Amino acid sequence: MLNIKRLPPLCTFMVFFFTTYFINAQQINQFDANKQRTGVWEKYYDNQNIRYQGQFKKGKEIGVFKFYDENGSQFPSIIKNFRETTDSVAVEFYLANGKLQSKGFFIEKNRVGKWQYFFQDGKIMSEELYHRGKLAGKLINFYPNGKPTEITHYKNGLKEGISQKFSSDGILIEEVTYENNVLNGLAKFFELNGNLREKGIYKNGKKFGKWDFYIDGEITDEKEIEDQKRFINKQKD
């Protein structure tokens, strides 16, 4: 029997190193008595770069799983957090440089609840709500300065209700109404100074009935608007 105490220090270290290595190797990618995955699992691509690492219990993922791109990036491209008490999985997607790209929740393959998307500097770019994999509720897109560029409501994956667009200074420039993803109802368009420019009704995606037009916030007619546009273009020429 090998007497470790009589070995030189370097040899003792090597014995412990390889013993620990082989013990750990035996503990990876194991099955339990019911032939279900258990403990730590690691899988690799054909080029030997790591594909994912995570832990199983009774054949089910638990805790944090890290997934990597085939090109061998040091940063995971996806991180999933599995919980034993719910089917909801917290998911984070990352860019190749390790920056967080988006995060939210999955149930099976469907997005659910709130999802957020980010600019490279970490500021929020978009926020969405999902129900069973389809947009439902309020969607907000943001400028890099943090102000909203668009606020639109969805139902069953389609635009439904009020949709607003804003300038980078936070001024409302458009407010329209959707039904089943088609323009239907009152619509308002504004100048960049906030003054109302035109107002009317859409029906089945087309302008319907009488529309009101404004100059400097005061009501006018379409002819006067066209005359003003021609004057402005002439001045530019």
pLDDT value of position 146? 96
HSE-up (13 A, CA, CB side) for residue 15: 11
pLDDT of residue 18: 42
Separation CA 89–CA 199 (nearest Å) = 45
Per-residue pLDDT 10s for the chain (237 aa) are 445 445 455 444 444 444 344 434 458 999 999 999 999 999 999 999 999 999 999 999 999 999 999 998 899 999 999 998 889 999 999 999 999 999 999 999 999 999 999 999 999 999 999 999 999 999 999 999 999 999 999 999 999 999 999 999 999 999 999 999 999 999 999 999 999 999 999 999 999 999 999 998 788 866 565 666 565 566 666
Q: In the prediction, which pLDDT does 227 show? A: 61
Per-residue confidence (pLDDT) for residue 21, from 0 to 100? 42
User: Can you spell out the DSSP letters for 212-230?
Assistant: EEEETTEEE-HHHHHHHHH
CA distance 205 to 184: 6
Predicted local confidence at residue 229, as pLDDT: 59
Q: What is the pLDDT of residue 10?
A: 47
Residue 57's H or E segment, with its range, is strand 50-57
Pairing status of strand 196-203 against strand 185-190: antiparallel
As beta bridge partners, residue 106 has 89, 111
Asked if residue 132 lies in contact with residue 110, where contact means CB atoms within 8 angstroms, the answer is yes
Under DSSP, is residue 56 helix (H, G, I), strand (E, B) or coil?
strand
CB 66 within 8 A of CB 51: no
Q: Confirm if 72 and 96 have CB atoms less than 8 A apart.
A: no
E strands, 60-217, where?
Answer: 60-67, 78-82, 88-94, 100-107, 110-118, 124-131, 134-135, 137-142, 148-155, 158-166, 172-179, 182-183, 185-190, 196-203, 206-215
Q: Are 200 and 210 in contact (CB under 8 A)?
A: yes
Name which CATH class applies to 7-98.
mainly beta
How far, in Å, CA of 85 to CA of 37, rounded? 18
